[in-house]
Amino acid sequence: AVGFGIRTPEDAARFAAVADGVVVGTALVDRVADGPAAGAPARVAELVKALAAAMQR
């Protein structure tokens, strides 16, 4: 698994091609902190969907 420096869907796709897993942490925390707390779930969900889609290509 790779878990350092994964911040974008492009990063996730690149590392998913050569690793058994991709761990995303800081990018999710950053999304929570990017705005009002009430919008955090939607911001995180948007990133997770983009990451998943990129890794399935």
pLDDT per residue over 3-18, tens digit each?
888 999 999 999 999 9
CA distances from 2 to 21, 31, 34, 41, 50 (A): 6, 20, 24, 24, 18
For the chain, count helices (H), then strands (E). Answer: 3, 0
pLDDT per residue over 1-57, tens digit each?
998 889 999 999 999 999 998 999 999 999 999 999 999 999 999 999 999 999 997
Domain boundaries defined on the chain: 9-55
